[in-house]
Structure 1
Amino acid sequence: MRAQAWMSAGTFPRLVLFDLDGTLLDSAPDMVATVNRMRATRGQAPMPLAELRPHVSKGSRAMSAAAFPELGGDVPAPMIREFLDTYEQELGRSSVLFAGVPELLDAIEADGARWGIITNKPEYLARQVMPQLGWDTRSAILLGGDTLAERKPHPLPLLHAAEQLGAAIEDCVYIGDDQRDIDAARAAGMRSVVALWGYRDEGERPDEWGADALADRPGDLVAPTFWARLR
């Protein structure tokens, strides 16, 4: 069967695509530094990291709304621009890879498979992260939220990545920590895995998102037995 082709070629699907923030990179410390600089200019006290963390995967508008609840969710465009400009200055200062991510990427490459990143972060910001991590020469593809006409949860970025890299959809998997990631993968007809170590609200139920599998930590994805369950 074509859907099992990647299993016969190696442990991993031939193309493993990842979300960035909350999946590969713990960027929440950079994000809280950003909103706290914004709060300081307005005479407000710092926001605890734990309060912002669940909103990081939801993007700049959601983080700004969480940082300034008095806006009632109505974040003006100039504030979004301020957030992005400030974040660009904080980019990479405090963020770290989640434990097990380096070993996971090494294992994918050692297996002869490829990996890439599809994020809703603006592409110009995502590209600045890559050389900091040594990924600019390793990632097979990087697509930001403004690279194409649509972004996740639309399937276009996932379909575009597979097409650009000559990979059949059934030979790909998408891994992310937000429901939009799983919705995009399902719409693309691509296998999906929820990164449970990422960012989400307490009330969210990732077991109800319709993913093919859930992983507690990056190290789980190194085991051949994990991928055998997705045959």
Structure 2
Amino acid sequence: MSALRFPALVLFDLDGTLLDSAPDMAATVNRMRATRGRPPMPLEALRPHVSKGSRAMSAAAFPELGGEVPGEMIREFLDVYEQELGRHGAPFAGVAELLAAIEAAGSRWGIVTNKPEYLARQVLPKLGWDSRSAVLVGGDSLPERKPHPLPLLHAAQAVGVGIADCAYVGDDERDIVAARAAGMHSVVALWGYRLPGDDPLAWGADAQAATARDLLDAAPWRGAP
């Protein structure tokens, strides 16, 4: 790895890694619950499910479904979320400094998320990231999505950076599985969303970081290009 401390391209997951979008998601499921005469779901009860996607969040909000969430409910979730998107959430502490440091070092950064691309593209301008992110790959941008390595490989190719010069940071096991399959240095974002039974130590990542600011240190990047 160069003296710049960062790989040439640092790719990030979005929800639970760069962005604390749980408040937007809570507003979404609580609007859905309200239309059905249900009381609000506490934010902290929903937070662990956010990185698992719209189906998992809907299942958590309506446990009587037993995990069998109908397609029309997923569509309702996405429609309501589009209206709540960016209204309540914010970047995690330290993310702004981290992205600025990557840029100042002459490296680039981008986003590979399982969120539908049309929704991810609406988030970026609200954060001022649309002109800064070198690449954005959504969950429906390609025939495969994480944990398949294709989105990460595609992102690197789109920016013109070799896999050996990339790293991926994410808060979910599928992020680490995808990074390992792609041959990228992987870092677990421990500040993100996890279910009580999740064990990041078992995911086989190259490094872990308790906060985004910890990625300003050389240690998590040790062994990266």
What TM-score comes out, normalization by structure 2 length? 0.98
Give the CA deviation at 1:164.
1.3
The whole-number CA distance in structure 2 between the counterparts of 1:109 and 1:193 is 19
The whole-number CA distance in structure 2 between the counterparts of 1:63 and 1:166 is 35
The whole-number CA distance in structure 2 between the counterparts of 1:168 and 1:140 is 14
- Whether the 8 Å contact between 1:13 and 1:113 is mirrored in structure 2 is yes
The whole-number CA distance in structure 1 between the counterparts of 2:187 and 2:218 is 15
Q: Aligned ranges for residues 66-105 of structure 1 at < 5 Å?
A: 66-105=60-99
Partner SS for 2:146: coil
Q: Aligned ranges for residues 1-231 of structure 1 at < 5 Å?
A: 7-8=1-2, 10-228=4-222, 230=224
- State the one-letter code of the partner of 2:79: D
Partner SS for 1:175: strand
The whole-number CA distance in structure 2 between the counterparts of 1:100 and 1:92 is 18
Give the CA deviation at 1:30.
0.4
Give the CA deviation at 1:202.
1.4
Give the CA deviation at 1:9.
5.8
Partner SS for 2:156: helix
Give the length in aligned residue pairs.
Answer: 225
Any unmatched runs of 5+ in structure 2?
A: none
- Give the CA RMSD over aligned residues: 1.0
Map Cα deviations across residues 175-224 of structure 1 (whole Å, 9 max, x no partner): 00000100000111111000000000111100110100000000000113
- Whether the 8 Å contact between 2:49 and 2:56 is mirrored in structure 1 is yes
The whole-number CA distance in structure 2 between the counterparts of 1:35 and 1:66 is 9
- State the one-letter code of the partner of 2:167: V
The whole-number CA distance in structure 2 between the counterparts of 1:153 and 1:220 is 25
- Whether the 8 Å contact between 1:213 and 1:230 is mirrored in structure 2 is no
- State the one-letter code of the partner of 1:129: V
Partner SS for 1:193: strand
**Percent identity between the aligned chains?**
74
What TM-score comes out, normalization by structure 1 length? 0.95
Any unmatched runs of 5+ in structure 1?
A: 1-6
The whole-number CA distance in structure 1 between the counterparts of 2:141 and 2:219 is 35
Runs of 4+ in 1 over 4 A off after TM superposition: none
- State the one-letter code of the partner of 1:168: G
The whole-number CA distance in structure 2 between the counterparts of 1:151 and 1:230 is 24
The whole-number CA distance in structure 2 between the counterparts of 1:227 and 1:31 is 31
Give the CA deviation at 1:225.
3.8
- State the one-letter code of the partner of 1:204: D
